[in-house]
Structure 1
Amino acid sequence: MIGCGSVTELKSAPAYQKTEGFELYAVMGRDITKAKDYAKRHHVPHFYDDAEALINHPEIDAIYIATPPDSHEYYALKVAEAGKICCIEKPMAPSYEACVRINAAFEDRKLPLFVAYYRRSLPRFLQIKEWIDQHKIGSIRHIHWHFSKPANAMDKSRSYNWRTDATIAPGGYFDDLASHGLDLIVFLLGSIKSAEGMAENKLGLYTAKDNITGHWKHSSGVTGFGTWDFGADKREDVVKIYGNEGNITFSVFGEDPIILERDDETKRLNIAHPEHVQWHHVQNMKANLLENAMHPSTGETAAHTAWVMERILKNKIEVINN
């Protein structure tokens, strides 16, 4: 594992360790003291401050890249060159073009490449997909997602945060958070053929964007609209899928009940996340590698999500000045 940040503490690293047949053999961090501490706390036998030494270790078969996105391409190309399996944290890279280059490197060597859009594997969202595939709300017409959250203490103090550094994450929290939801929407409703949006920095607390709107059209004809506000007065996270016979409401990040409404029927289901939220994602990796089962989140699917996000952030909506 390259990177020892907070995302790995509970969400991901333990999922690899608890999967039969997998072993977290080594971790790498630029600060050797922190890498050593992480390895000790998580009972990982080896630790490094040199990524290439870890990547090229003969006992290591696969690499999980869990660093900020601006370094994903650099490390991924090293992993491909070493001929090893790879999983990259989301978003896959800061640009669609970088995603294309990463995919090409792994395709040329016929190596498996996964991306940690783990919501595609979570039971609560698989239930929603089942409702859609069973036409529980008839023909899907439209989807709307609104997400907002207040600026946090780090934002207000103008402390450095790579998630709001435009050189690393041009869309700010949009890159980090909205990527999860947009990738999930593609998983539920199919590929997107066109997308555009408007992105602004209204707060002036950091260099990245903080207020984004977007709309898109799926290849199936379903239309979508999203609003993301990272300087709101309160947190909201509501997705609604509209069909001609009902609708489905859910949250991307919360564990609120998923709701199916049709005719005079309302069904609410509480489906909790596992202790380690990437557990099912890792299990699907194992099934892909050992049983040739399809994994829902690959370099190809993640690159498509990157393309959609990039289109929304391009500010292609024309403004007429009166």
Structure 2
Amino acid sequence: MKQAIKWGIIGCGNVTEVKSGPAYKMTEGFELVAVMRRNLALAQNYAERHNIPRFYDDADELINESEVDAVYIATPPDSHYYYAMKVAEAGKICCIEKPMAPNYTECIQICDAFEKRNLPLFVAYYRRSLPRFNKVKSLLEEQAIGDVRYIHWTLTRTPSEKDQSKDYNWRTDAKIAPAGYFDDLASHGLDLFAYLLGDIKEASGISSNQQQLYTAKDAVSGSWVHHSGVMGSGTWNFGAYEREDKVKIIGSDGEIRFSVFLEEPLTLIKNGGIKEFVIDNPKHIQQYHIENMKKHLDGTLQHPSTGKTATHTAWVMDKILGKL
């Protein structure tokens, strides 16, 4: 019997409570043995609630703990590079929360550090592993809508109370997320589109801070083209009057509609008919992503979200924001 791979988490905040943390414990062949937060009391509280034997307030201690084989970095993105380089130096497997880093250059450097040491590097773009989006992929591969022509995504939402009160939020701090919620949310969709339709060869866009509620941008419009020739466009606005999350993939024979974040049915429109597919997400939404990491490490599956694919997504993001 193979020995279990023992994981430690750096930054056991909200994202790890339900979305990811429990799935590391549930995955056969993985164990969650250590967590770290800068506040030791909060780290201890998390460890006790989730029945995890070790807790730290020093990331170096967790990274260099002999019982830890792999590290999941779940901190805000401005610290991903710092911790990832330490994990690579320690010679350990790593998974980084998305976005992989605040810019394309740091992503390249992180990838290089892990490739140099022949270490597995994953990034938590977990939508690539979710059944609902793999259904979209299978419909495209079956040419259910014929030849794909273009994809468009509209994502809007109203400003939150936190935005309007100007309470601190790293997601709207330009030093951490220059394009605000675009960095945090649009990265999920753009990464997914590259998975569904192939890598993107060119992208551009414009951005603005329309509301002046925070330092980061709050409105972005972009366009791109995949290597396959499929055209893409998107509009992201975080000061609109309503929430909207609609993706349309238009083909020569039909159309597929879905939402990136809302758990709505997938819709196939073809020959005047409409067919819906209801595919629920798991309770712990990173479950399939984490199970696929184990399969990758066992050599039975190529994980769809690696440092390389996430670096491509960072390149697309930076091109849309005019940073490259």
Question: Shared fold by TM > 0.5?
Answer: yes
2:41 to 30, 33, 36: 33
Taking a change above 3 Å as real, the CA distance of residues 57 and 196 of structure 1, as seen in their structure-2 partners, is same
How far, CA to CA, are the matches of 1:12 and 1:110 in structure 2?
A: 25
Give the structure 1 partner of residue 111 of structure 2. Answer: 103
Structure 1 residue 287 and structure 2 residue 307: aligned? no
Q: Bigger shift: 146-155 or 257-266?
A: 257-266
8 A contact 1:240–1:248 mirrored in 2: yes
Give the structure 1 partner of residue 84 of structure 2. Answer: 76
2:285 to 277, 281, 303: 277
Amino acid in structure 2 at the alignment position of 1:251: S
2:132 to 124, 128, 140: 124
Give the structure 2 partner of residue 193 of structure 1. Answer: 201
Q: Offset of 1:20 from its aligned partner? A: 1.2
Structure 1 residue 148 and structure 2 residue 148: aligned? no
Give the structure 2 partner of residue 136 of structure 1. Answer: 144
- Superposed CA deviations along residues 30-89 of structure 1, whole A, max 9, x for unmatched, are 111111111111111110001011001111100000000000000000000000000000
Q: Offset of 1:291 from its aligned partner? A: 2.8
2:181 to 155, 158, 173: 173
Structure 1 residue 223 and structure 2 residue 246: aligned? no
How far, CA to CA, are the matches of 1:147 and 1:229 in structure 2?
A: 7
Give the structure 2 partner of residue 114 of structure 1. Answer: 122
Give the structure 1 partner of residue 97 of structure 2. Answer: 89
How far, CA to CA, are the matches of 1:128 and 1:181 in structure 2?
A: 13
Map of 1:232-311 to 2, 5 A cutoff?
Answer: 232-311=240-319
Amino acid in structure 2 at the alignment position of 1:151: P
Show structure 1 runs of 4+ deviating over 6 A.
none
How far, CA to CA, are the matches of 2:289 and 2:134 in structure 1?
A: 12
How far, CA to CA, are the matches of 2:260 and 2:110 in structure 1?
A: 27
Give the structure 2 partner of residue 58 of structure 1. Answer: 66
How far, CA to CA, are the matches of 2:27 and 2:150 in structure 1?
A: 38
Amino acid in structure 1 at the alignment position of 2:68: I
- Superposed CA deviations along residues 121-141 of structure 1, whole A, max 9, x for unmatched, are 000000000000010100000
How far, CA to CA, are the matches of 2:298 and 2:64 in structure 1?
A: 22
How far, CA to CA, are the matches of 2:29 and 2:264 in structure 1?
A: 34
How far, CA to CA, are the matches of 1:265 and 1:130 in structure 2?
A: 19
Amino acid in structure 1 at the alignment position of 2:27: T
Give the CA RMSD over aligned residues: 0.9
Unpaired runs of at least 5, structure 2: 1-8
SS at match of 1:11: coil
How far, CA to CA, are the matches of 1:34 and 1:233 in structure 2?
A: 37
SS at match of 1:254: coil
Amino acid in structure 2 at the alignment position of 1:100: I
Amino acid in structure 2 at the alignment position of 1:126: N
How far, CA to CA, are the matches of 2:211 and 2:297 in structure 1?
A: 46
Unpaired runs of at least 5, structure 1: 317-322
Q: Offset of 1:265 from its aligned partner? A: 2.7
Percent identity between the two aligned chains? 60
SS at match of 2:309: helix
SS at match of 1:24: strand
Amino acid in structure 2 at the alignment position of 1:302: A
Q: TM-score, normalised by structure 1?
A: 0.97
Q: Offset of 1:264 from its aligned partner? A: 2.8
Give the structure 1 partner of residue 322 of structure 2. Answer: 314
Q: Offset of 1:315 from its aligned partner? A: 7.7
How far, CA to CA, are the matches of 2:42 and 2:211 in structure 1?
A: 34
- Superposed CA deviations along residues 178-232 of structure 1, whole A, max 9, x for unmatched, are 0000000110000000000001000000000000000001011100010000011
8 A contact 1:196–1:315 mirrored in 2: no
8 A contact 1:197–1:315 mirrored in 2: no
Amino acid in structure 2 at the alignment position of 1:86: C
How far, CA to CA, are the matches of 1:78 and 1:144 in structure 2?
A: 39
Taking a change above 3 Å as real, the CA distance of residues 30 and 315 of structure 1, as seen in their structure-2 partners, is closer
Amino acid in structure 2 at the alignment position of 1:249: R
